[in-house]
Chains A and B, each alone.
Chain A
Amino acid sequence: MFGSREHSERGEHRITLTLASSLASVDQVEQTAEHLAAEAGIDEDARFGITMAVREAAANAVFHGNKGNSAKHITASFENTGTSLIFCIADEGEGLDPDTLPDPLAPENLMRGSGRGIFLIRSFMDEVHFRRLEPGTEMTLIKRFTPEANTGTNTGNQETKR
C-alpha cells in the first residue's frame, strides 16, 4: 500500500491511498471512509450510507474495473472540505459507461444476483460523477453535511457525467 495524507491551510485534509486489487483493499477503503465520516461528526445513520457507497465503489473498482488483476491498483482519495466529504475511487480497467447499466429496480432485473452496487452508491450520496481515465474509470462521490446538525437524510440526488 502506498498512502499519503495532505493537509490544507484551512485545516481540511485529504488522504490518498494506492492499493492492490484485493478484498482487503475494499475493507481498508471502507474503514478509512468510516473514520473520515466519524471525524466529521456525521451521525451513525448517515455514516452507514456513506461507508456503504464508498465500499461499493471500491469493490466495483477492484472486481469490475480491474477484474481482480493483482498487477493493477486502485487509488482512493478522501477529503473533508468542512461541508462535504469527497471520495474519489479510480481503477485501471477498461472503463465504465454508467448509462449502459441495467436498472436493478426494473421487474426483469429484480431477481438478479448482482448489479445493485452503482444504484446503492447513487441512493446514498448527494452527487456521483464518472470520469473516463486512460486507462480506467474514476468515480467521485460527494456527501454534503452541515457540521452543526448532521442527519442521515439525503437532500437529493444529483448526477452529472464529466
Chain B
Amino acid sequence: MLTIRAIWSRRGRSLTLFLSGTLVVAGCFGSVAYARLSDISPAVASALLLLGVVALASQAASSVDLRRGEIGLAQLRGRTGPRLLWSAVAEPVVILLVATAAGIGLGWLVTDAVAARWLAAGVTFSPGWPEWAAAGVVFAVGVLVVVMASWRTTYETMLDKLVGQRRPRRARTGLLFLQVCVLVGAIVTIYQARQAGPRHIDWVSLLSPALLGLACGLVALWLMRVLAALAAKTRAGNRLNWFVTTRRLFRRADSAAVLPVMIAAAVLAAVAANAWVAADAWRQDTAKLAVGAPISYPVRSGALSAYTASRYADPSGRWLMSAAAFPDPTGGSYRRVFVDPSRWQQVVGDFYAGTAAGTIAHRLAAFPQSAALQTVTGDSVSMVASKDRIFTKKHDGVPVERYRARAAVSIFYVDDKGVLASVDLPPHGHDNQSPAGPGLVRSTARLTDCHRGCVLTELQFTGAAPQRSPMSITELRFAGQNLLGSGSLAPAIHPDTGVHVQRADGALRIWTDAFFSFYGYGSTGQIGTWPLNRPVAALTTEQPKLDKVGGKESVYGIDGSEQPVSVVGTVPVLPFVGSQGALIDIRQALVGEGTTASGAHVVVLARADTPASVRQRLLATGVVGTPTTYQAALLKSRQQTTAQGVRLYLFIALFAAVLALLTAIAAAADQIGGRRQEAASLRSVGLSARGISRSYRREALALAVAVAAASLAAGWFACRALLGALPLVDAGRFGLALDTAPRFVLIVPLAVGAGVVVAVVVAIAFRRIGRTSAPASLRQDLQ
C-alpha cells in the first residue's frame, strides 16, 4: 500500500517508466513472436532489447535517484540488508512488473493483428517459450539495474543522500567501462556482420545497427561537450545570451543524456527504412524481371507454340509477345532468354522503367527489323516430280524390274503443338498420286496441326537416279507455299553421300553416283535445311563473356544446340535474365529450330490492358495455362522469409523510435524541477525571463543539431556498412544485385526528424519555465 502511494506521489516518473517498460516488453515479445511465426531467427529482436535495456536502465536508475532521500531515511531508521534493499527497489520493481504484464498483453495483441495482416492465411498466434523468455529477460534486466542502482545508493554517504543540494557526480569506472564496451562492441559487431555476410547472420551481427547508433550517440555527446567547452572560451560564447547555454551543455550531461538512445533509434530507423526500400525495390525489379510483363501466360508446348499463339491471338502485335527463358545447361548462372523484339515496345513498353533493366528498350532497336522466321499454315503438302522409272532385264524372257529410279522427300516440321513431325512425299503406298504432265506425277499428303503456324526444319531427299537420267522435282508445296520458289532453300548435300542435286529452271535435278550399286532406294541427302546457321542477334550482360565455337560467339539455341550469335550490345542487367545471360531474338532463333530444349520457361506475355477478346483468343489456342501477374509475383515475393525479416526490422525500428521519444520525455521531465530552480536563480540576479527562455531554446537547437548531424552521419555509415551484410533478399543464383547504397532521401528526414523530436520535447518541457519560475520560489520552505 505504501509502495502504491509512493508510485502515485511520483506519478510522472512512474508513468514514463511504466510506458517504457511496457513498450520494450511488448516490442521484444511481439518481435520474437513474429520472428517465430515467420521462421526468422528471434535474434533479430536483439537490437530492440539492447536499446530497451539502455532506456530502462537510465529510467530505472533515475527513479532510484529520486528516492535517494527516502533510502537515506530508511537507513537512519535502522533498516539494513534485504529489508533496506527491498524498501529501495520495491517501487520501480512493482512498476516494472506491471509494465511487463501490460507489455505482454500489448505484444500479444499487436502480434495477433500483425500476423493477420502480414502473414499467410491460417497462421494463428499462441505464445511459445521464446516470447515468455523475451519478456522475462526484459523484466530481469530492469530489476537487475534497479537493484544495482539501489545497492549503490545505500553505500553513498548519508550527506549525499539527504542533502537538498545535489552534488555533481563524477563518471564512474563502471559507466566508463560500459561506454568503452559500446564503442568496441560497435566496431566488433560491424566487422562480424560484414565478415559473416547475409547468409550467416547471427545475433551479434544483428546488434550492430543499435550498437553503432549508441556509439555514435556517445561520440556526439562527447563532441558536443568539447565544442561547448571551447565555445565557452570564445567571445561569442561568453556573451550573456550564450553564457548559460554553453556552460550547461558542457557541464551537465542530463540535457544531452538522451542523445545516444535517440541517435540509436534514428540509426535503426535509417537502416530499417533503407533495408525496406532497397529490398522492396529489388523485389519489384525481380518480380518484373521474373514475370516479364504485367501478365504472363505459361506455355508448355515449346517456344514455337508460344510464338505462333501470340501472333495468332494478336496479329496487330499490340498486346502479346512470346518469350522463352532457359537456365544454364552447364549448371552455371548464365541464362538465355529469347524474346520477340518487334513486339517489345508495344507489349512491355515502360514496364521496366525505373528498374535496372529500364534502359533495355532502345537497345533492342539494334535487332533486325523484320522476322527471319517464316511460319506457314495449311493442311496439305504436295510435290510434282518425275514418275518412277523402272529399269528391267529379261529373265527367262520375262522382263523383271532390276532398278527403279525415283525421288522422294521427307519434310520435317514443328507443328502448332511444338511437336517435331514429318510428312513423306510421295506418301507410303503411293496414294494420292495423279499425273501432272509428261513424265511427271503429283503426290499429295495431309498436314496435321499446322493451323497457326508451322516451321520447316528439314527436307530430306531419298532415292536414286542415274546421272544420265536424273530425277526432277519441279514443285514442292508445303501448306500452300512452293518451297522451290524460296530463296532460302539451298542444297546442302554432303559430298560423300554420292548424291547430286542441281537447281535448274525452278526445279531440282537429282542423281546419284552409285545408281547401279543399289537396288531400290539407295541414297539419302538433305536438299534443304533450316536453320541456315546464321548468327542471331543478342544482347548480353557484361559478364561473363560468351564462349566461342569455331571462332564465333555462340549460345545454346532454343533446341539446345550451339547457336552462333551476333552481339549487338552489352548491358549490366537484362529482363528475365538478371545479371548474367543473353537476350536473343526469338524470330531468328526459331528458324528451323522448332523444338524446345527441356527446362525452358516459355511464356506469352501480355499487357495489363489486353482486351478480353485477345485473351480469349489466346486461351482458345489451348497452349497457354493460367496466367501469372506481376502483382501476384510481387505479393509472393513479399511473403518470403527475408521480406518478413525486413518488415520485422521496421516494426522494431518503430518501437525503438517510440521508446526514444519516451526516453526524451522522461529525461526532460526529470529536469523540470532543477530547471525551475535554475531559472528562478537566474532571474533573481537580473536575467530576464525571456532571456532564460531564449537560452533554453538555444540549448534545444544545439541538441537538435547534434542529434540530426550524428544521426545523419551514423545512419549513412550504418547503411553503407551493414545493408549488404543483412539478409534482406533471397537473391539466388540468377538474382539481381541488391542496391545497398544509402538513400539520403530516407536518412536525411529521419535524422532531421530525430533532431526535431529532441528540440520539440526540450522546447515544450522548458517553454514556460523562464516565465513561471519566479525568484520568489527560491525559499527554503518551498524547496
Task: State yes or no: do A and B come from one complex.
Answer: no
List the interface of chain B (C-beta within 8 A of A): none
List the interface of chain A (C-beta within 8 A of B): none
